[in-house]
Amino acid sequence: MTNAQNFYIDGAWVPPAVPAELEVINPATEQPYAKISLGAEADVNRAVAAARAAFAGWAATPVTERIAAAKRLLAVYNARYEEMAQAISLEMGAPITWAREAQAFAGSGHLEAAIAAAETFEWEAPRGTTMILREPVGVCGLITPWNWPMNQIMCKVAPALLAGCTVVLKPSEIAPMSGVLFAEFIDMAGFPKGVFNLVNGTGTDVGQVMSGHPDIDMVSFTGSTRAGISVARTAAETVKRVAQELGGKSPNIILPDADLEKAVTEGTLAVMNNTGQSCDAPTRMLVPAECMEQAMAIARAAAETVVVGDPANEATTMGPLVSALQFDKVQRLIETGISEGATLATGGLGKPEGHDIGYFVKPTVFGDVSSEMTIAREEIFGPVLSILSYTNQDEAIAIANDTVYGLAAYVQSGDLDRARGVARQLRAGSVYLNGPDWDLFAPFGGYKQSGNGREYADWGLHDFTEIKGVVGWD
């Protein structure tokens, strides 16, 4: 990838204002395999100026032409799909099969959904004598994480560009190569210069500058709740719009009438997907108290089917954690779970046998977990499942809602009406009933400290548009 040490600004690949490099680490080998440049305030200023200069022309471009540009991007993405899957697998340790079927798919899938939504979106509509217009917010700063690189890049970039906004993207410096590759796709698709810009860098040196920049009209951030608070605080000085998708500690309520074997198995494997590095992972499993021992046995059996290994091996189902920092955090929280008295059903401290090199961890299941324990309250962001018990449905709902987070929740029941009733009482932005397929047109976002705003399809278009009422239109 020849552009890794450049930024994409105003339609061209340019070096940083002040040279500064960062090695990109392969988490499966703990060795550097690439270098990127780190940006600073001068680079942000240049990118924002380009986006600002391009805004009026792009906003005035008919939506049909913006859709045509997005379709060209989709064609480029699909033509270079395998490159994207390989880049994601290498930078964050995703098993190559998972990188193809989930990680890279998220990019193309969300772009297809955004295009379909834009084609039917109500860009203007009369209400009495007033015309309601949906217009682009302006220049948008997009800050994306490392755990689902293309999912979050596309969930922001696609609706922003289709809405007529211009953007400055800062991907995570931990997994930046997919973002650089995506900028190449944008360039090949022929978007006007300045409409899309990319600056790599740290949250402190680039993200915070973007958050407070007076010429950025909106910041869309995905990451930790701690970092989201910092972004919002900085953005408040310029009263810009802030959309955030933050942390989660999602409950998975298995009701007494559910198929316990199926529900526990699927719930356990869902936690292990992506090495547990998903903000909406169902990490708190709630089972009837009398089923605790059986649930632990089922979860242990499911976790022990996970194949930990080389991400390049198509038989691998779980790769390493993304970094040494993440490995140390997960180890600390596993140790805390043990010390606080949870029952370790499988997994635990240390690396799996035969994996001394790489940030590999053991798929871990804790049973007999109470709501007061640290592993039931903190987002671990690793393949660690906590199983809690309840005595009745009302208690299960109360336990599920007993968290500062509210990103997602899961309900398993043999009675769909009952599951729907429980869903209505859960304080979460997304509730999934009985293991449904991924719906790219459903809204995605959180309650409480899981953020604000919604992503996916037309929900993203709403977030990146302003509402103008022209009174006396008719």
Question: How far is it, in rounded angstroms, from Cα 25 to Cα 22?
Answer: 9
| ∠ CA 288-334-146, rounded to 5° | 100
Element spanning 196, H or E: strand 196-198
Residue appearing with tokens 């799996």: 352
Question: Kind of pairing, strands 218-222 and 139-143?
Answer: parallel
Residue of 184, 245, 379, 455 marked catalytic: 245
Question: How far is it, in rounded angstroms, from Cα 231 to Cα 241?
Answer: 11
Count helices and strands (H / E) in the chain: 16, 20
Question: How far is it, in rounded angstroms, from Cα 209 to Cα 302?
Answer: 45
Question: Kind of pairing, strands 196-198 and 166-170?
Answer: parallel
Strand partners, 25: 32
Residue of 112, 184, 279, 455 marked catalytic: 279
Instruction: Compute how many other C-beta atoms are within 10 angstroms of the C-beta atom of residue 82.
Output: 12
Instruction: Indicate the DSSP class of residue 318.
Output: B
DSSP-assigned states of every residue in 242-292: EEEE-----EEEE-TTS-HHHHHHHHHHHHHGGGG--TT---EEEEEGGGH
CB neighbour list of residue 394: distance below 8 Å, 6 or more residues apart? none
Instruction: Compute how many other C-beta atoms are within 10 angstroms of the C-beta atom of residue 399.
Output: 19
CB neighbour list of residue 236: distance below 8 Å, 6 or more residues apart? none
Question: How far is it, in rounded angstroms, from Cα 69 to Cα 72?
Answer: 5
Active site residue 245: yes
Question: How far is it, in rounded angstroms, from Cα 413 to Cα 431?
Answer: 13
| ∠ CA 354-100-228, rounded to 5° | 85
Strand partners, 34: 24
Active site residue 279: yes
Is the separation of the CB atoms in 465 and 163 below 8 Å?
yes
Question: How far is it, in rounded angstroms, from Cα 471 to Cα 302?
Answer: 60
What are the catalytic residues? 245, 279
